[in-house]
Structure 1
Amino acid sequence: MGIFDRESDVIVNGAPGGTRIIRHPESGYRTALHAGERVVPIRDLAVKLNVDVSDALTGLKALRREADAAVRSLNSVNEAKRERTISDYTTRELTDELARRTGVGEIVIPPHEVVGVTFANGIGRSIAGPARVLINVD
């Protein structure tokens, strides 16, 4: 019986049909080599594969599209469920809401008009339109 040596090629000599049993010294693996066969170290092994993966890629692309659509749907549901904070409203929305409430008065200054406002402490100010002045008396 011969010993499988990883560092060298073992070629079975002899007539056709002759065999030689070899074993790996570390693992104890045994095999029969026939005439003309040889043991080649793994570092010298080269393998070439031709694999058609087009169907798999098509399936993966479809899966990716479905996953992206699901993420978009979840994002829209989360956005719809999220409560709005005060900073989410525009100034116009806030002003309209305040003007609708009781205890709030509104003065509308049309475009191209200037109105003078004098406060109780004697300080005055000019306001040019268009503008909305809200007076909160609450």
Structure 2
Amino acid sequence: MADKQSRELKEGNESNVGNISIKVDVDCSDALTGLKAIQREAKKATQTLRELEAERDRQDEEFGKLFDAHQNLAQQHDDLTVKPLSNATTEELTEELAKREGVRKAEIKPDIRGELLPEGISGYTTFIHGPARVLVVTD
């Protein structure tokens, strides 16, 4: 009779079949353990992302403060502009060079005739009519 019921189930004829009870015993403990481990790692990843976002926000705020401080300093020192040497006047260049170590500066007034005797070079004399600035670079 079991063969007949089995055959009827396979053929789709359920009218002659009584109540059937099926008990399945499946061990899911390994799967649950794995899912719990995945959940723990997902929570850790979420926490790490929150910490990274907080650090990014802190750094953005710090950068904003530094940028604002830079802007304030730039506004306070508008007169301090950097320009290429090619745009500097000859007067500006000679004044800057005269401030350096190893450079001597001599000024010859208008309508004055000056004689320049470079050190260490005998028999060499240059006459200069003012106005003039002479820089002697020794280094």
User: What's the TM-score once normalised by structure 1's chain length?
Assistant: 0.37
More strand by share: 1
Larger radius of gyration: 2
Report the structure, 1 or 2, having the larger helix content. Answer: 2
TM-score by length of 2: 0.37
